[in-house]
Amino acid sequence: MGIWRNLLRRLGSLAKGRPLLTVGVVAGVVRLVAVAVGLVLGEASMVKDENQYLAVAEASAAGRLDVFWVGYGRSLYDSTWVFTGQVDLLFRAFGPVRLLGLLLSAGYGVLAAVLTTVVASRVVRTSFAVLAGLVVALLPSQVFFSAAVVRESLIWTCLILAAFFLAEGRRAARPIDVALTLVGTTTCFLLLEGLRAQTAFVSLWCMAGALVLGRGLRSVRAVAAVALLVVAPLLAGGAPGGVDFLDSSFKRLGLIRTYMALDAESAFVDIQEPDSFVAIQEPGSFVAIQEPGSFVDIQEPGSFVDIQEPGSFVDIQ
């Protein structure tokens, strides 16, 4: 018992003396073990989305993105380019090796844990900050998603980075400090916009509200919050406040729910036989065809599109 107590005491001293190193090492070791387990499983992955990120990045690296998975491949790449683009660059440099994507995700998982420790140290004692970092380092969901080639670990890193800028801005004593916080949060929003639009939208309004909070400089903070709501979405090609995203999301809600129901057990549109067809009521909608030789009726009598590949998509213009 005495040996274990001494070991724990030394580990506690190390954590207090080098909190970032401690959290980083723990997070790194856990994720490397998880990556190794993923490699042992072979090509199979417990996260189904991993396959599509790998496929799209490989297609882009090979220069055939525009003809790969027509109607969805380019859209997926463009909507997740902050993550998928990095996997693409790695594939261009070293070849389409899954391990590269796994290490990339694991690296962002480690960075998220370390940044959590940094942010927590601004508001609590070092020991509690280390505890917060270790929670992120060891939380099963964090380990799970940072040990697969998916965007989630990078999304969390961007959110925690935004929290870091806001924590620093809360103590700002000069207008220039508030301006730097505005630049940092705007950058985080733009990164999130290239990862997951809905997360970017929610974080935009949360960051704007947090910008107002702080000691002094109320008018400067209010101006910065308004600037964030207006300028950041414009830089991303949207409307102030991200209202265009909200509007388009409501318009697509019915179509999205219909598409998601296609493969559900309660689906009400199911193409079972070749030569069958389904009528499309909304322009711009997508229909997943499960059988080769199936047809999509494009509102005009006698106008059909022949689908040659199972699981392919048809974009109705």
Q: How confident is the model at residue 41 (pLDDT cuts 50, 70, 90)?
A: confident
Please write the tens of the pLDDT for every residue from 80-136: 999 999 999 999 999 999 999 999 999 999 999 999 999 999 888 988 999 999 999
Which amino acid belongs to residue 258? T
Residue 305 lies in a domain: yes
Q: How many residues does the chain have?
A: 317
**24-53 mean pLDDT:** 86
Please write the tens of the pLDDT for every residue from 225-273: 999 999 999 999 999 998 888 888 777 777 767 766 766 665 444 444 4
Query: Per the structure, how many domains does the chain have?
Result: 3
Task: Output 139 or 14, whichever has higher pLDDT.
Answer: 139
- Residues of the domain holding 132: 12-170
CA–CA gap between residue 157 and residue 250 (Å, rounded): 28
- Nearest of 168, 238, 179, 242 to residue 206 by alpha carbon: 242
Do residue 191 and residue 57 come from a single domain? no
Residue 2 lies in a domain: no
Contact 126, 20 (CB under 8 A): no
* pLDDT for residue 4: 60
Do residue 252 and residue 291 come from a single domain? no
CA–CA gap between residue 151 and residue 159 (Å, rounded): 13
CA–CA gap between residue 255 and residue 312 (Å, rounded): 17
Cα angle, residue 98 at apex, residues 94 and 103 outer, rounded to 5°: 85
Task: Output 298 or 255, whichever has higher pLDDT.
Answer: 255
Assessment of whether the complete model's pTM goes beyond 0.75: yes
**297-316 mean pLDDT:** 46
Among 261, 284, 299, residue at a domain's last position: 261
Do residue 117 and residue 18 come from a single domain? yes
Q: Give 181's contacts (C-beta < 8 A, 6+ positions apart).
A: 165, 166, 168, 169, 172, 211, 224
